[in-house]
Amino acid sequence: MTVAGPRVDLDQAEAAAEARAAAVEAEVVEKAKAEAYEAPFKPSPIGWFFRVALAAALVALVLVFPLDRPLSDVRLFSQAAIYAIIGLSLNVLLGYTGQISLGHQAFVGIGSFTSAYLVTVQQWPFAAAVAVAMAVGGLQALVLGGVALRIRGLYFALVTLSYGTVASDSLFGITRFTGGGSGQSAPLPSFAATPHRYYYFCLLVLAVVIWVDYRMMQTKGGRALLALRENPRVASTFGIDVKAYTLFAFVVAGVFAGLGGALLAHKNEVVQAQDYNFQLALIFVIMTVVGGLRSRSGVVIGSAFFALLSSGYLIEKAKVETLFRFLADNTFIPFLSKEVAALVLGPLLLLLTLTLYPGGIGQQIRPIQRWLAGHRFNLHDRGDKEVQISDVRA
Amino acid sequence: MLRGRLGRRRSSRLRPATNRLGPLAGLVGQPRRLLAVAGVVAVVGLFVRLELQQAVVIGLVGGAAYGLLALGLVLIYKSSGVFNFAQAEFGTVAVYALYVLKGPLGYPLALVGALLAAVLMGLVVERLIVRPLFDSPRVTLLVATAGVALMAIGLQFWIGEAKLRRIEPALSRPDRIAVLRQNVSDQQLLLVAALLALGVLLALFFSRTNLGLAILGASQEPVATELAGISVRRLSSFTWALAALLGGVAGVLFAPISGTFGPGELTRGLLIPAFTAAVLGGMTSLPGAFVGGTLVGVAQAGAISYKGLEALPGKGTVIVFLLLITVLTLRPQGLLGSRA
């Protein structure tokens, strides 16, 4: 293309182009300067020392602290690890797909009874029984989900609630399967025959579950789950099969719950039907929500906290029972026994979480997590994740 | 003026389409009514065939309690779109209040006090839980009401301890009349009468009063209702108080029939059947809640006394679960509900 313009114009154009190039260059230099100024924060050696020290203290609390504890305490620690698995199971459902299960005691309980029945009555090896418990958990999720996921949201919660009571009233009343009122015995596996060994085994399983959960969320399926939680309609226009992926998440949650149930059975060495009631299902939901949806560390901490609270361990160790006794003796406040404490404090924490701190524990510990990972400490650092319970959609 | 507007809108919505069916239109034009009648006839026929007449009577009485609770559930679902899992706890709280107050105040005044306690709980729940979460998704509110239910149960375990308490009925004669060779006590008659009376009163309230029309308006078009100068939030507290009152009535009339009560008993026994009743009725229909409660009650009583099912534990719960699943898969809008 030839434009025979006057020479003056060409000169002007050249000058303008030069000016523009200079401006771009200046911008690049400035950007580089700014980048140099805001170089990624690197902790000093002392900073690293404190970070490593805190991390080591946390690891020691989990791994070393239980070593010299009495057996009854170690059983409770195992329970905390198992509750964390159950919490992660609910997190898959509630956190990733926004569907709520109010009947999770059924999945956990059926896992418990399946494993106990196979090991005690059928003399199966431990590993095979746990595998079958997981499969059964996944299978019932598949069947129930196939029916219930035609209706999402509120009705799904209702169906799972109803299913939970069917399990506790009917299935757990079948004496041949559950051993009747005295329960079905479930011995510790031979490779972890002491409560201490079993505790470390539970920790190992929890680590595997966390890893599987983490890897799952990196896959196409995981991204699809996150997309369909944000907005199922938009997700379906992007070609995501909403029903199939929700069902997939439900099955994963069922498998995790079956695993948690099986571990719980052998932790107690006996499974009794009355332990799996409506209150337990609500405690499971509460520990997941209070822990913080979609925050693995938050859910693990929340679940462990509620396991220790509902078994009375925290109340006992914090010596608050004397305070409760004092209040009961001197005021009109009745005595709050450690068995009931979780039923009173749990819902209170849940309602506080829902109304004031929707991100739960996960959001609260986020600054510490970021600091441990080598960032500057910032109390208001919520990271890149904006966590809200309001993401749970009907 | 508002009443006129809302009334006009309703009537135009409900005006039947031009019919070409002549005299049959009354029945065919109302397939829902036909379906409900056919369902009831079929169930009663089946029961008589299986010699379960007495179960029909037991089920009708039990169904009245489900219906009362379901009315409250429907009311709250209509007004705020929430599944209220704490509905049965309104009843339990009322029963505890009745138990505490009947000594010093006497039974009739204690009944009033118990209902006031339930209403108070409804108002507190609305103010502290529902209102702060007004704009949040419905599932969040569902979790919150489930939390309220567990909290109420926890408080009952804390203050009332884990033991059964005796509560005598308001009217004590156990065999007032016999229907189909099944004795019906005064208290059971009172329960059924309360359901009928409250059902009629609610129907009149929603069709004849400004307040009732305003609640209906708020449930259908909250923004337009605000624009018409009605505070939707204030209506919300009124609805919760009303629903709590219904729950309280169900509690104080139902619990004394068995003679004893314990922590969380009504949530365990009544909540899921009541929800199933509401879903059966279409979740937004007050007459539907009534019909649904009756159906669930009769089906449950039938399953429990049917001889072929004796080996299965927890029959009552299983049949309710099956009913719920069946309705949700085959007819999710319920028997009397309209398709969304």
Which residue would you say has higher pLDDT here, A316 or B150? B150
Distance in angstroms (rounded) separating the CA atoms of residues A307 and A310: 5
φ, ψ for residue A7, nearest 5 deg: -65, -30
User: So what's the pLDDT on residue A170?
Assistant: 85
Please check whether residue B108 lies inside any domain of the structure. Answer: yes
pLDDT at B340 over 50: no
* Closest residue on chain A to B272 (Cα): A162
Chain B environment of A165 (Cβ under 8 Å) = 268, 272, 317, 321
CB contacts, 8 Å: B154 with chain A: 340, 342-344, 346-347
Measured between CB atoms, which of A161, A173, A389 is closest to B313? A173
Rounded Cα–Cα distance for residues A192 and A261 (Å): 17
Domain count, chain B: 1
Rounded distance between C-alpha atoms, residue A391 and residue A386, angstroms = 10
| B63 located within any domain | yes
pLDDT at A109: 93
Please give the residue of chain A at the shortest CA–CA distance from B133. A355
Alpha helix (H) residue ranges in chain A: 7-37, 45-63, 71-90, 104-120, 126-148, 154-169, 175-178, 195-218, 220-230, 232-237, 242-268, 278-291, 296-310, 313-317, 320-330, 338-355, 360-364, 366-372
Above 60 in pLDDT, residue B330? Answer: yes
B312: which residues sit within 8 A by CB, 6+ positions away? Answer: A170, B318
Q: pLDDT at position B261, please? A: 86
CA gap B298, B17 in Å, rounded: 35
Mutation to test the B interface, candidates A94, A340, A345, most B Cβ within 10 Å: A340
DSSP state of B21: S
Does B282 fall in a domain?
Answer: no
How confident is the model at residue B32, as a pLDDT?
64
* Segments forming the whole domain that contains residue B147: 51-267
Q: Which pairing describes strands B177-179 and B182-184: parallel, antiparallel, or unpaired?
A: antiparallel
Q: Where are the beta strands (DSSP E) in B159-265?
A: 165-166, 177-179, 182-184, 260-261
Distance CA A119, CA A125 (A): 6
Mind listing the pLDDT tens digit for each residue in B231-286?
888 888 999 999 999 999 999 998 888 888 888 888 888 999 999 999 988 888 88
| Contact assignment for A154 to B138 by CB distance below 8 Å | yes
Report which DSSP code applies to A44.
-
Q: Which amino acid is residue A314, in one-letter code?
A: L
Does the beta-carbon distance from A354 to B143 stay under 8 Å?
yes
Q: Which has more confidence, B148 or B173?
A: B148
Q: Which two tokens stand for residue A145?
A: 């989900």
> Does residue B290 surpass a pLDDT of 50?
yes
B300 contact partners, CB below 8 Å, separation of at least 6: B59, B62, B273, B316, B319, B320
Q: In the structure, what pLDDT confidence band is assigned to residue B12 with cuts at 50, 70 and 90?
A: very low
| pLDDT at B101 > cutoff 70 | yes
> In the prediction, which pLDDT does A359 show?
81
* Local structure of A121: helix, strand or coil: coil
Nearest CA in chain B to A162: B321
Contacts of A340 in chain B (CB under 8 A): 154, 157-158
What's the rounded Cα separation, in Å, for the pair B266 and A373? 50
Residue B217 lies in a domain: yes
Contact across the interface for B128 and A351, Cβ inside 8 Å: yes
Q: Which of A117, A112, A102 is nearest to A164 (CA)?
A: A102
**Which has more confidence, B336 or A224?**
A224
The answer to whether residue B309 sits within a structural domain is no
What is the ipTM score, two decimals? 0.83
What is the model's pLDDT at position B46? 76
User: d(Cα B224, Cα A347) in Å, to the nearest integer?
Assistant: 35
Strands A270-271 and A184-185: antiparallel
In the prediction, which pLDDT does A36 show? 60
Domains identified in chain A and CATH numbers: 46-391 (1.10.3470)
Q: A355 and B150: CB-CB below 8 Å?
A: no
Give the three-class secondary structure for A215.
Answer: helix
What is the reported pLDDT for B23?
A: 45
Average pLDDT over chain B, rounded to an integer: 82
Digit-coded pLDDT (tens) for B187-223: 888 888 999 999 889 888 988 899 888 888 888 888 8
Inter-chain CB proximity B153 and A165 less than 8 Å? no
- Verify whether the Cβ–Cβ distance B325 to A148 is below 8 Å: yes
Chains A, B: CB pairs < 8 Å? 150
Dist CA A313 CA A73 (whole Å): 8
Lowest-confidence region among A253-257, B37-41, B102-106: B37-41
Q: What is the pLDDT of residue A152?
A: 66
**3-class secondary structure per residue, B102-165:** HHHHCHHHHHHHHHHHHHHHHHHHHHHHHCCCCCCCHHHHHHHHHHHHHHHHHHHHHHHCCCCE
* Cβ-defined contact of B329 to A147 (cutoff 8 Å): yes
pLDDT (mean) for B47-74:
84
- Residue B130 belongs to some domain of the structure: yes
For residue A186, which of A111, A238, A239, A241 has the smallest C-alpha distance?
Answer: A111
Contact status, residue B157 vs residue A340, Cβ threshold 8 Å? yes
pLDDT of residue A136: 94
Task: Please write the tens of the pLDDT for every residue from A238-276.
Answer: 888 888 888 899 999 999 999 999 999 998 888 888 888
pLDDT > 90: percent of chain B: 25
- Both tokens of residue B81? 């779109």
**Does some domain include residue B303?**
no
Judged on CB neighbours under 10 Å (0-12, 13-18, 19+), B242 is buried
Residue with tokens 């510490």: A368
Query: Which of A159, A170, A389 is facing B324, going by the closest CB pair?
Result: A159
CA distance B220 to B284: 11
**Residue ranges of chain A with per-residue pLDDT less than 50:** 1-2, 386-394
Type of residue found at A207: A
Specify if B283 maps to a domain. no
Contacts of A352 in chain B (CB under 8 A): none
